[in-house]
Amino acid sequence: MTAAPRPKKILATVSLAGCFGCHMSFLDIDERLLDLIELVEFHKSPLDDIKTFAKDCDIGLIEGGCCNDENVHTLIGFRKHCKTLVAVGECALMGGLPALRNFIPLKECLDEAYLHGATVAGTNPDRIIPNDPDIPKILDRVYPCHEIVKIDYFLPGCPPSADLIWDALVALVTGKELDWKYRTFKFD
């Protein structure tokens, strides 16, 4: 008698205020993607172009921090629809490079970007700082994900290695403890 196949876990991914490098690292698991497809069903991810939740997910991978109200809304939605939420990469963990603006007042950032920047001359003759309700509102600073919602696991790196992402996903899907191998964190 053979054992019944284990039901597939449902996996969702999203990129917030980041560079999409963590998703690229995810894709760098290469041929192991074929093994992953045997373990998970992709849902709401740039990988399958599903844009809204049609069902709850077992695992959600979040890349990037929150720099605008749309990022916050998306992150809260992921927390609501994912049993386990994983912050992937330094932007999700600490705000990453986008958080460099946290040391400059928001008004000064907007003035530089839209009024005084070297590339602005002639492109904004009315000296308008965009303020349309259809444009996400920029937050006072870039927030790491754990300051907005509860995060269950953190995968460090910029981006995390494909091996770390693979090892973490296999552990989450199979219920085994993650074996933090040195090769996973070796950055030299």
Which domain range does residue 59 map to? 9-103+138-185
Per the structure, the count of domains in the chain is: 1
Say how far apart CA 59 and CA 42 lie, in whole Å. Answer: 10
What pLDDT shows up at residue 121? 77
In a domain, 54, yes or no: yes
In a domain, 124, yes or no: no
Cα 170 to Cα 35, 94, 152, distances in angstroms: 10, 25, 16
In a domain, 116, yes or no: no
Q: pTM score, two decimals?
A: 0.88
In a domain, 152, yes or no: yes
Say how far apart CA 62 and CA 80 lie, in whole Å. Answer: 13
H or E element at residue 27: helix 21-27
| Residue (of 157, 156, 164, 134) closest to 68 by Cα position | 134
Say how far apart CA 124 and CA 96 lie, in whole Å. Answer: 29
Q: Output the tens digit of pLDDT for each of the chain's 188 residues.
A: 666 667 899 999 999 998 999 999 999 999 999 999 899 999 988 888 888 898 999 999 999 999 999 999 999 999 999 999 999 999 999 999 999 999 999 999 999 989 988 888 788 888 888 889 999 999 999 999 999 999 999 999 999 999 999 999 999 999 887 776 665 555 55
In a domain, 128, yes or no: no
